[in-house]
A = this chain, B = another copy of it.
């Protein structure tokens, strides 16, 4: 074993040896010399906690390192760094807390835990003076949390707009490029391993919502949990919606949006499908890639793009964090604590202001447009463009609004649905990333 500068090795305990964990094991082994040079001391794998000892792994793991007793591993006196890649709330939370209580540094990829109970985890890090790094929890390999926490620490973030779920981006990209239905595209994603057998967490937006909560908390120096996030999935997107968006020069993406309100006093955090112009940098994000667009007062518009999931990319982010906490331990210091001083509240979805694309099937007779327009006006929703297309007895109205609150739009749609001349409100989709006021 190499021994940079003669310093004793820092010992790493790994919790979980699945898709990500096995790549962490591989990289710790294959890049041992580089890591030692970069840290200033060797990194040594002290043990790997798994559920079952006999299971086949994606990489070779010394059987002597494997244990099913995670609790004993994280509390071992000789362990310096605990890496948690089990996921889920328990036992991950208890193990992380046990590790911090003994002064271990913690690296985790656990978005669900941080989004549901970040207060407990960050609080324990603070109380114990323990390092907590979690770059891999959002957008896989893309360096995103460190830039937000550190590079933009002297700036004021206005908005974060991201594609943070690769599965849904793959599905929507397939629907856009091939005309496939949601079901067909999902099946294809499952066949390729981009979607799980039970795709609920992805297609219903739960995964993206957890990431949105973490991003919003960091970007706005406030505490945000998954429960604060307005969430809509992509299961109701039809091939017709995608086609209609394409016809207007838009593409439908599942976006995580964290934005300061116009008065700067609250934030909105939401995950839902939205139409964005094809000229927007996020529109070009294909397949299962992720990208996050950040708008800050001084920096302007930034975008971070890369692989949002997968064993090796996620392990790259985990390794970067391991190097950081290892350097901190050697220097007797720690990284930035959770920053929640701004304490901004998340406003209700009804207060969110954006634009909308609405498709309404109406009876094709005189006065219909006037009556529809009246309802929009009554709720103070200003129409930017309207397109009417006859279809025999019926007609289709496609309206795009100026910026309006979600509450006003909802009230408008409700009243439209009750109108005798309206056959159906065929679709309502938010329009984002288009700065026309």
Interfacial residues, chain A to chain B (CB-CB below 8 A):
23, 27, 31, 34-35, 37-38, 135, 141-143, 146-147, 150-156, 221, 281, 284, 291, 296-307, 310, 312-313, 315-324, 327-328, 331-334, 336, 339, 341-342
Contacts and interface: CB of A to CB of B under 8 A. Distances in A.
Contacts of A302: 141-143, 304-307
B284 A296 contact: no
Contacts of A336: 327
Best-buried of A146, A151, A333 by chain B (most CB within 10 Å): A151
B307 A299 contact: yes
A322 B331 CA distance: 20
A240 to B, nearest CB: 27
Contacts of A299: 141, 306-307, 312-313, 316-317
A51 B432 CA distance: 46
B320 A152 contact: yes
Contacts of A152: 143, 316, 320
A94 B23 CA distance: 46
Contacts of A333: 328, 331-333
Given A34-B156, A300-B313, A305 B319 contact: no
Contacts of A313: 298-300
B141 A300 contact: yes
A31 B319 contact: no
A334 B27 CA distance: 27
Contacts of A284: 281, 284
Contacts of A316: 152, 154-155, 296, 298-299
Contacts of A315: 298
Contacts of A297: 312
B298 A37 contact: no
Nearest to A298: B316
A153 B317 contact: no
Contacts of A281: 284, 305
Contacts of A327: 336
A317 B147 CA distance: 10
